[in-house]
Amino acid sequence: MGKYEWKFSTIGGKSRVNISSGEDIRHLGELDQKLWTVLSSPVVGLEFDEKTLSMLDDNNDGRIHVSEVVKAADWLTSVINDPDLLLKKDDFIPFSAFNTKNPDGERLLASARQILSNLGIEKDSISISETDDSVAIFAKTALNGDGIITEQSTADDGLKKTITQCIATMGSKIDRSGLPGIDAEMIEAFYLALASYAEWKKKAEDEKGIIFPYGDGTAEAYDAVNLIKEKIADYFMRCKLAAFSQESASALDVSVSQIEAISDKNLSECYDIISHYPLAAISDKGVLPIDDRINPVWQSTFSKLKNLIFDKDFKGIKEISEEQWNSVIAKFGAYEAWLGAKVGTEVESLGLDEVKAILKENRKADLLKLVEDDKALESESRSIDEVNKLVHLYRDFYSFLCNFVTFKDFYNPEEKAIFQAGRLYIDERCCELCIKVPDMGPHNATAGLSGMFILYCNCVHKVSGETMIIAAVMTDGDVASLREGKNGIFYDRRGEIWDASVFKIIENPISIRQAFWSPYRKLGRFIEKTIEKTASEKDEKVTGDMTTQVASTGEKKQMFDIAKYVGIFAAIGIAFGAIMAGIGLIVNKLSGFTWWQWLILIAVIILVISGPAMILAWLKLRKRSLSPLLNANGWAINAAAKVNITFGSTLTEVSDAPRVAEPDPFADKTPWWKKLLGWFIVLGILFWIAYSSNLIHKVTKNPKWHYEKREKVNNGESVPVEEAAESMIILTPEAFRA
Report in angstroms the alpha-carbon separations of 538 from 517, 550, 574.
Answer: 31, 18, 20
What is the reported pLDDT for 620?
66
Number of residues in the chain: 738
In a domain, 698, yes or no: yes
**441: burial class by Cβ within 10 Å (0-12, 13-18, 19+)?**
exposed
494, 458 in Cβ contact below 8 A?
no
Burial call 496-515: b when 16+ CB within 10 Å, e when fewer? eebebbbebbbebbbbeebb
In a domain, 355, yes or no: yes
What is the reported pLDDT for 606?
67
Determine how many CB atoms are found less than 10 A away from the CB of residue 576.
10
Comparing CA positions, the residue from 88, 643, 92 lying closest to residue 420 is: 643
Amino acid identity of residue 721, one-letter, is V
In a domain, 424, yes or no: no
Structural domain of residue 248, as residue ranges? 214-331
Give the end of a domain, one of 401, 417, 442.
Answer: 401
Is 237 in the same domain as 305?
Answer: yes
Is 117 in the same domain as 55?
Answer: yes
Report in angstroms the alpha-carbon separations of 429 from 448, 461, 489.
Answer: 22, 21, 11
Helices (DSSP H) in 298-454: which residue ranges?
Answer: 299-305, 311-313, 322-331, 333-340, 352-361, 364-375, 378-401, 440-446
Number of domains in the chain: 4
Is 42 in the same domain as 127?
Answer: yes
What is the reported pLDDT for 139?
80
328, 300 in Cβ contact below 8 A?
no
What is the reported pLDDT for 200?
94
Is 18 in the same domain as 132?
Answer: yes
Is 167 in the same domain as 267?
Answer: no
Is 382 in the same domain as 364?
Answer: no
In a domain, 305, yes or no: yes
Please spell the DSSP secondary structure of 26-41, one letter per residue.
HTGGGS-GGG-SEEEE
Is 18 in the same domain as 115?
Answer: yes
What is the reported pLDDT for 558?
47
Phi, psi of 396 (to 5 degrees): -105, -15
Distance, in Å, from the CA atom of 715 to the CA atom of 711, rounded to the nearest integer, reads 13
Q: Which residues in the chain come in under a pLDDT of 50?
A: 1, 555-558, 560, 564-566, 568-569, 576, 694-715, 718-719, 721-738
In a domain, 394, yes or no: yes
Is 317 in the same domain as 368?
Answer: no
In a domain, 578, yes or no: no
Phi, psi of 76 (to 5 degrees): -65, -45
Is 13 in the same domain as 123?
Answer: yes
Is 135 in the same domain as 183?
Answer: no
Distance, in Å, from the CA atom of 218 to the CA atom of 304, rounded to the nearest integer, reads 12
Is 23 in the same domain as 132?
Answer: yes
Distance, in Å, from the CA atom of 394 to the CA atom of 76, rounded to the nearest integer, reads 8
In a domain, 293, yes or no: yes
119, 140 in Cβ contact below 8 A?
no
Is 59 in the same domain as 42?
Answer: yes
In a domain, 532, yes or no: no
Residues 409-465 have pLDDT tens digits of 999 888 999 999 999 999 989 999 999 999 999 999 888 888 889 999 999 998 999
